[in-house]
Structure 1
Amino acid sequence: MSQESGHYYVPAPSAYPIIGSTALLFLGSGAALTMNKMELGYGLLAVGFSILIYMLFGWFGTVARESESGKFNQQVDRSFRWGMSWFILTEVMFFCAFFGALFYMRNLSIPWLEAESSVLGNSFWSTYSGAWPTAGPGIHEQFTPMGAWGLPAFNTLLLLLSGVTVTLAHHALRENRRDGLKNWLLATIFLGALFIGCQAYEYMHAYSDLNLKLTTGAYGSTFFMLTGFHGFHVTVGAIMLTVIYFRSLAGHFTPEHHFGFEGVAWYWHFVDVVWLGLFIFVYLM
């Protein structure tokens, strides 16, 4: 079936969704047991990751073969674009919820608690100051907030550069310059991996030197939840870019038909924009 055909391609029933659900079952169970210091959890995590990797290779390979065999016409391409757009919108709403929680905490709940402490005196938190960053009332453990300049600023530069390199890769693909496509994609993957490595180092520095942890009240929980979920999205994006890179090595994509590349590029730009919001509202303000 050619890409010019008027028929809308409907794939055959697949076992990969239930395989992915099974992987998530093992991963969730393993994570819960591991957090409760039960040795069985590590085994379940290993099984879950193994099933997940099998599913990713199988499902990605199936979709790539369907695309390269010409089964996706313009109508299918439009549905892919709408689907990816709605998916990114749900991710935007996901981060909006966390940014909203940060705003509510900093601008509403903490000032209210500070005002109540001054009214109720010693029966409440009489010495509580609502100045941000704070762990919150009743938490006396000292910590040092993460500064914006240094590693966070360097990470911002890395992601901004990666947004440029993936755009250059897109332009190279549209001009059918295969070497430029491969080289700029590889540069984007390298920058993404370097960002993840720097964030891991930042977390170790926070725990060992700043006494900043996920359990450090209001500031610690919002800092690690926002930056941690973003780091997870960068990791997912880097995996997607790696798949696209190997597909490019195999000769996939043409200047006219390459939504597989475009969808990943959209996702990567979304990750860049979210990080700019994080850098401003979590690190700078």
Structure 2
Amino acid sequence: MSESSILVADKQTADPVQWRSPLALMIRRFKKNKRAIAGGWMVAIFVIVAVFARWLAPYDPFEQNMEVILNLPSFSHPFGTDEYGRDILSRVMYGAQISLMVGIFGVIISALFGVALGTISGYFGGKTDMLIMRLIDIFMAFPSFLLALAIVSVLGPGMVNVMLAIGIFSVPTFARISRSSVLAVNNKEYIEAARSMGSGHIRIIFKHIIPNSIAPIIVLSTMRIATAILTASGLSFLGMGAQPPTPELGAMLSTGREFLRSAPHVSTIPGLAIMFIVLAFNMLGDGIRDALDPKMKL
């Protein structure tokens, strides 16, 4: 064995963390975060339930049975039944499917447009940066939920319009985070080297800028799913989202208000489902943020 190989082996033995790859370090940080692991398992459970709701649900979520109206939780109906005798457990499973779909697609829409605007703004700077940022400032002047409500009011109620509204009102947040990340890497040595070698703007952006500034976007996307689900539930609660008899959690929470005294489970169970889904994504997002932070010590 050569002398250089012995020195490398000694360094790896003396400081094993230093010689790990960034991905290995991120996974190790994530595994050491118990809250992140719990959030990850909760998200995994909700995703499995949502994807396989058709096979896991014990009843048809639309099936009405007037003989078991507003029944309390029992062995045959673990979450009870609603005002039409429909099984709440089955409707919550299908409702989780709708909520996750709205949250994920809404965040994808906002991430695509927000990252594009933020990257262009941070990379080119000057008048382009000023124009895009002033447009973003106008959108951020409106409260997010009110902006989403206004968009859905114009487009009309429905889950597709809710996804579009969530995608639009989340664009400014993604644009600002993306711009900040691009500004942090735009003047690095490898970017200057790529420019000096004659690389075009498109190549630099897609090969160097975006890959090295994507970590905050991943964290924001995970946490923004929780905000999107909460917003979609709020719009459905106000009657602007899913329309009856669609088993959406916010709509179920709204219809159950009339029975808070006689059958509180009709509204509290969908409300708890929303709370745990949002909590799971927030915990997962916090864990990913801590794992991607190079300043975190193992």
By the TM > 0.5 criterion, same fold? no
By relative contact order (CA 8 Å, sep 6+), the higher-ranking structure is 2
Task: Please say which structure displays the higher CA radius of gyration.
Answer: 2
